[in-house]
């Protein structure tokens, strides 16, 4: 076996840096990891930031998944990994290799501070304000083969850190063993996304050896043969056989994995087998969710227009400020659904952000946020409920939901009424004589 030549790997002057990591104390803020086939992964966070890695192009067998993103990361310039045009929206596109084929030194932040309408992409080494939900991205040089790139060149691995979770996407890793510099850059890995199909990357047995080096909490195999893929890669079975009883194998529902901060030390690495096809709910479920979402969006439209003075307005009649109504609506939905989701997946913690009920007891969570930012918070919670709704698959609409005194149908209808009623209450405040004009 040829060991990687790291003097050659680092000849561009790229030194792997260890940057300050994000806090590991954000319970209830899980990251959704979605696999779309081949090496295409999307990440969605509580702050509603979206990252897409290695979107595929060409006719490789998978259909367009119609994803949008704020950031696209490309590990290397092969056609089944670098189709940035597949991603809707107006994402930042960050390529792991430069024009000469060398791994680029990437140490960046994707973030959006409260009050800023759009996300930004800046150097993580700068002394800049960042939210507690910023996404930190670091590139880690590697080879696409085990001969120091002589066959297929370089490959950028990406370390993504957000909300206390560390995710490594290996791209088309071809090295048979990671060097100490690479392992040090990864540090403690929550999720390792590693190719196992061989031919162009490490195969199942070789990937298992790398898993033993990294010791991640969770492994998601990618880049292997499926019924849809036209490439002649190996299947996932070789990797599972090589891992043997060293791992716990979990077959997930659909293409999504929820990853939060580890609540307990696992005895074994968990290998999660994702399907590249998302899990869908019944038409009746979707209709109820759509009705709740419609009411939430109507609330967002009202709050988005309010200034700081208006959303903090204290009516002389002793009723709540409009901000309380926004926080209460958001808090109730997040609290109820995270409570159910936690029962179905322990990586999703219960979040209780509901404010105190009485006006005199209420303290605003973010007194400086404008109505537009409170509207974004409502949207974040709406997205959270949708993001993990695949867990609801198989639940009966009229039976009590796990961890809740509600049935799903009753809860969704109540949430729809809740948004309508509290938004109507806010609109009534517009008619009061002391309502601020701006």
> Could you read off the pLDDT of 149-189 as tens digits, one per residue?
999 999 999 999 999 999 999 999 999 999 999 999 999 99
Residues 356 and 256 in one domain: no
Residues 108-129 have pLDDT tens digits of 999 999 999 899 999 999 999 9
C-alpha 347/C-alpha 183 separation (Å) is 25
* 437 part of a folded domain: no
The last residue of a domain, from among 273, 307, 330: 273
Residues 147 and 13 in one domain: yes
The last residue of a domain, from among 211, 239, 273: 273
Q: Write down the pLDDT at residue 28.
A: 60
Comparing 356 with 263, the larger pLDDT belongs to: 356
As a whole number of angstroms, the longest Cα–Cα distance in the chain is: 81
Residues 241 and 381 in one domain: no
Residues 293 and 348 in one domain: yes
C-alpha 14/C-alpha 113 separation (Å) is 30
**Sequence-distant (≥ 6) Cβ neighbours of residue 286 within 8 angstroms:** none
* 436 part of a folded domain: no
Residues 299 and 331 in one domain: yes
Work out the angle at residue 274's Cα, subtended by the Cα atoms of residues 144 and 254, and round it to the nearest 5 degrees: 145
* 1 part of a folded domain: no
Q: The CATH number of the domain where 387 resides is what?
A: 1.20.120.450
* 366 part of a folded domain: yes
Residue 14 has pLDDT above 70, yes or no: no
Q: Write down the pLDDT at residue 277.
A: 96
* 125 part of a folded domain: yes
Cβ(262)–Cβ(217) below 8 Å: yes
Residues 260 and 328 in one domain: no
Give the pair of three-digit tokens for residue 127.
Answer: 């002394």
Residues 420 and 331 in one domain: yes
Residues 261 and 336 in one domain: no
194 DSSP β-pair partners: 221
Q: The CATH number of the domain where 69 resides is what?
A: 3.60.15.10
Residues 269 and 326 in one domain: no
* 435 part of a folded domain: no
> What is the extent of the structural domain holding 424?
283-429
* 278 part of a folded domain: no
The last residue of a domain, from among 215, 246, 273: 273
Count CB neighbours of 349 within 10 A.
Answer: 18
Gyration radius of the chain over CA positions: 23
Residues 62 and 197 in one domain: yes
What is the average pLDDT across 256-268?
85
Q: What is the pTM of this model?
A: 0.93
* 324 part of a folded domain: yes
Residues 43 and 157 in one domain: yes
Residues 329 and 350 in one domain: yes
Q: How many domains does the chain have?
A: 2
């Amino acid at each position: 076996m040829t060991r990687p030549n790291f003097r050659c790997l680092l000849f561009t002057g790229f030194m792997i840096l260890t940057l300050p990591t994000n806090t590991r104390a954000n319970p209830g803020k899980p990251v959704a990891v979605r696999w779309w086939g081949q090496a295409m992964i999307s990440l969605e966070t509580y702050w509603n930031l979206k990252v897409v890695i290695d979107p595929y192009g060409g006719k490789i067998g998978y259909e367009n998944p119609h994803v949008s993103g704020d950031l696209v990361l490309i590990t290397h310039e092969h056609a089944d990994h670098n189709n940035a045009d597949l991603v809707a929206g107006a994402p930042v596109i960050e390529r792991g290799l430069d024009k000469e084929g060398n791994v680029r030194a990437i140490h960046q932040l994707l973030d959006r501070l409260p009050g800023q309408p759009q996300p930004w992409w800046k150097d993580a080494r700068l002394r800049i304000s960042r939210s507690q939900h910023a996404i930190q991205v670091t590139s880690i040089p590697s080879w696409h083969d085990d001969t120091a790139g002589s066959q297929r060149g370089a490959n950028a691995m990406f370390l993504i850190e957000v909300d206390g979770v560390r995710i490594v996407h290996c791209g088309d890793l071809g090295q048979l063993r990671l060097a100490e510099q690479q392992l040090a850059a990864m540090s403690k890995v929550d999720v390792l996304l590693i190719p196992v199909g061989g031919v162009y990357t490490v195969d199942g047995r070789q990937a298992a050896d790398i898993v033993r080096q990294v010791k991640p909490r969770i492994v998601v195999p990618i880049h292997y043969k499926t019924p849809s893929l036209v490439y002649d890669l190996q299947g996932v079975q070789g990797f599972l056989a090589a891992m043997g009883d060293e791992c716990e194998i979990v077959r997930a529902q659909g293409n999504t994995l929820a990853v939060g901060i580890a609540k307990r030390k696992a005895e074994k690495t968990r290998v999660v087998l994702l399907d590249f096809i998302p899990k869908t709910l019944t038409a009746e479920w979707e209709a109820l969710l759509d009705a709740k979402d419609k009411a939430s969006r109507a609330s967002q439209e009202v709050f988005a227009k309010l200034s700081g003075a208006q959303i903090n307005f204290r009516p002389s009649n002793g009723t709540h400020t409009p901000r309380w109504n926004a926080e209460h609506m958001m808090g109730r939905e997040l609290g109820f659904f995270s409570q159910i989701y936690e029962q179905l997946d322990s990586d999703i913690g219960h979040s209780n952000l509901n404010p105190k009920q009485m006006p005199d007891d209420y303290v605003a969570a973010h007194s400086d946020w404008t109505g537009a930012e409170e509207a974004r918070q409502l949207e974040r919670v709406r997205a959270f409920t949708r993001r993990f709704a695949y867990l609801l698959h198989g639940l009966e609409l009229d039976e009590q939901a796990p961890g809740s005194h509600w049935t799903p149908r009753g809860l969704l209808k109540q949430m729809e009424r809740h948004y309508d009623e509290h938004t109507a209450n806010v609109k009534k405040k517009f008619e009061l004589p002391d309502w601020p004009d701006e």
